[in-house]
A and B are shown apart, each in its own frame.
Chain A
Amino acid sequence: DTEVTQTPKHLVMGMTNKKSLKCEQHMGHRAMYWYKQKAKKPPELMFVYSYEKLSINESVPSRFSPECPNSSLLNLHLHALQPEDSALYLCASSQGLGRERIEGNQPQHFGDGTRLSIL
């Protein structure tokens, strides 16, 4: 799916560095997601934003800090990561979750991911 753009494609950082992953979509989707995928495992949900508000945090450590500045952009700020945080980080979007209730069951569209390595 090339309609969701993730940058950078690869990132190598030290445990004391601060970096950010970026995700952008222009499909008018109002729900955006971060997933983490370790080698030979399925993607695991980290965060969900609905209408620019954090809806779900799947008990993710505070060294991962999501941000949704507008409906098209989703960031993941990284600080003081550990070697076990090395993984493929995937962003996805879908048409949306209702503001007050779940409406519709829309497919998720994924970006190509950022491959993160922690030294």
Chain B
Amino acid sequence: GIQVEQSPPDLILQEGANSTLRCNFSDSVNNLQWFHQNPWGQLINLFYIPSGTKQNGRLSATTVATERYSLLYISSSQTTDSGVYFCAVLGPLGSGGYQKVTFGTGTKLQVIP
């Protein structure tokens, strides 16, 4: 199946710093989502981004599908940004015509005051 790797696995930031998280995938995908999982386990949609660039406040994301990667930018980080960031891809049609969603390995972010 499709492999989805995220980097870095762990990241510690001082409040106010900027960061870039990366998601690499091994095969062509039909779509990609970025999620933030907060310390309470809630998975929050950040972006639904098959290609191109989107921005939402301090966050933005870029997907270059032809080169099989996506980037998540966090600017002016805040302590509430702490948690785990996952990308999830919708892969090629498998048996039965189903496109399987595969989550990446995650980046654990800790923002310190």
Contact = CB atoms under 8 A, between A and B. Distances in A.
Interface string A4-35: 00000000000000000000000000000100
A44 B99 CA distance: 14
B90 interface: yes
B106 interface: yes
A56 interface: yes
Contact of A112 (B31, B33, B41, B86): B41
Interface in A76-119: 88, 90, 97, 101-102, 105, 107-110, 112-113, 115
A33 B102 CA distance: 13
A: interface residue count bin: 20 to 34
A45 B100 contact: yes
A113 B98 contact: no
Given A105-B30, A112-B42, A43 B103 contact: yes
Contacts of B105: 42
Interface in A24-77: 33, 37, 42-45, 48, 55-56
Contacts of A33: 101
Q: Is the interface of B mostly helix, strand, loop or mixed?
A: strand
A107 B106 contact: no
Interface residues of B, number: 26
Contacts of B106: 42
A53 B88 CA distance: 24
Nearest to A41: B106
A88 B97 CA distance: 28
B93 interface: yes
Nearest to B35: A110
A42 B103 contact: yes
Contact of A113 (B30, B31, B41, B103): B41
A107 B98 contact: no
A60 B48 CA distance: 28
Q: A-B pairs with the 8 shortest C-beta distances?
A: A42-B103, A105-B31, A107-B48, A110-B43, A105-B30, A112-B42, A113-B41, A88-B41
